Amino acid sequence: MKNNSINYIYMVITILVMTFSMRATNNMIITTVPLLAKINLHFSEFFVGIISTVIYLFTFIVTFYINPRLNHKLRRKLFIGANIALIFVLLSYFLADAIIIWISSAVAGLAYGVMLPNLITSSSLLKDQKQRERLISIYSVGLSLSLILGPSIEDYLLTIVGYRYVFLFFIPIVFAGFIASLFIKFPETKNETRKSVLKNDGLKASILTITTYNIPFAALSIFLTLFAISRFHVSGSVAYSPYIYFFSVSFVTRLIMTARPFKSIKLPLIFSISITGLVLLLFPFIPTFTVFILLMMLLGIPHGSIFPISTIMISRGTTLEQRSAANSYFMAYNNILFMIVPLMFGYIVGFIGYEDSFFVLVIPVIISAIYLFKIYGGNRIFFPSNKNISANKST
């Protein structure tokens, strides 16, 4: 028991450090590259969407086509190599011109394609369901913590340096991630398989669940700062600040889910989806920047809950042998969203403006929620009663 506790604490620490480094830097790149492209390199909104799409395109290639076909030893080597590559990516963004920025974005996408699914898998391979879902929640807490401290660091940096220099200041964070990557465990799971995983109900339910939030979030992650500047005429650093409040609420939500894991996830999911739809409906009517911040804080609740709920669905609906492939395909789908949505959103903004474009995003949220509960609403694997989940020890 003592050795098990020590091993569990070891997993928690290494995953938290690696998660913080990976996600803080990933979010910085995703939110700052559009600003670099627009303000420093004078890209149009359409090309701002395309440069963001490039990152997700190359991440998708790795998560969908490459990672599911690799054994655990090769995945570990690539995982460590990806952390090294990110150091050079940040240097190249600092020096970027209208050509280098495309190459840097492609390499960043490749690196995150290796890192993202393998971190989730490392968090979900424990056999005990309670420990596994708690570790998934801890991983999600690490994501949210990085999305508080990362934007806070960048918000401060933008008051003293330009966008290019932000990339340099994040190099020490990536280096810490590289050190942690040397200690991340890649447990050997015999007979890993990707056969029939795309037909697995756990994967399909998680995809419908994450769709209810990541379609609007894909647009927000790229265009929130530009929207705030356009609508409220605030400075770049002030326009960036809503991310801090948004991710702070997300962090608290995930902290609560870690301290008191949901035995039943159905009602929390319905609540989170409802908040997302309501806030999107209010976007055209936001009167002040303060109200905008309050709405972004409200959106932090579904951001904090829906991702861990989605990964819990995968852990409940897949076997250990299927889990690595399922997480890879899950991340690949998210990358499809983050490729397509910013591109389409940037195009639509040119015709109807930011406010109405966010309003339109409520449609796919409603459709995916209806399909989710119509198909899986009565499924006892994903939505068990409190009694059933307390007794369950998943494979």
d(C-alpha 159, C-alpha 179), whole Å: 30
The encoded tokens of residue 219 equal 């647009």
What pLDDT score was predicted for residue 389? 44
Instruction: Report d(CA 348, CA 345) in Å as an integer.
Output: 5
Which pLDDT does position 395 carry in this prediction? Answer: 35
Tell me how far apart the alpha carbons of residues 338 and 367 are, in angstroms, rounded to a whole number: 18
CATH node for 2-384: 1.20.1250.20
Residue 124: closest CA among 282, 299, 326: 326
Comparing C-alpha atoms, which of 2, 300, 321, 276 is closest to residue 144?
Answer: 300
119 token code pair: 């971190």
Query: Rounded to the nearest 5°, which phi and psi values hold at 20?
Result: -60, -50
Q: Residue 282: its pLDDT value, please? A: 92
| Encoded amino acid at 91, one letter | L
Query: What's the CA angle centered on 6, arms 146 and 134, to 5 degrees?
Result: 50
The pLDDT, as a whole number, for residue 39 is 86
On whether the CB atoms of residues 36 and 222 are closer than 8 A, the answer is: no
pLDDT of residue 64: 86
What is the model's pLDDT at position 330?
Answer: 92
Domain ranges of the chain: 2-384
Predicted local confidence at residue 394, as pLDDT: 37
pLDDT value at residue 168: 94
- Assess contact for 264 and 383: CB atoms under 8 A: yes
pTM of the predicted model, to two decimals?
0.77
Helix, strand, coil % in the chain, rounded to nearest 5: 85, 0, 15
Taking only the tens of pLDDT, the chain with its 395 residues reads 455 676 777 778 888 889 899 989 998 998 889 888 888 888 887 788 788 788 888 988 998 888 888 877 888 899 999 999 999 999 999 998 889 999 999 999 999 999 988 887 777 666 666 777 778 878 888 887 887 888 788 888 888 888 899 999 999 999 999 998 888 777 565 556 666 788 899 999 999 999 999 999 989 887 888 888 888 988 877 887 888 889 889 989 988 888 887 778 889 999 999 999 999 999 889 999 999 999 999 999 999 999 999 988 898 888 877 888 888 899 889 988 888 888 888 888 888 888 888 889 999 999 999 999 999 988 887 887 644 444 344 33
Enter the tokens of residue 13: 């620490």
Q: Cα–Cα distance between 350 and 223 in angstroms, integer?
A: 13
Query: What gap in Å lies between CA 177 and CA 39, rounded to an integer?
Result: 29
Q: Check residue 393 and give its pLDDT.
A: 41
CA geometry: angle 272, 349, 103, nearest 5 deg: 90
Burial of 371 (0-12, 13-18, 19+ CB in 10 A): middle
What's residue 316's pLDDT? 85
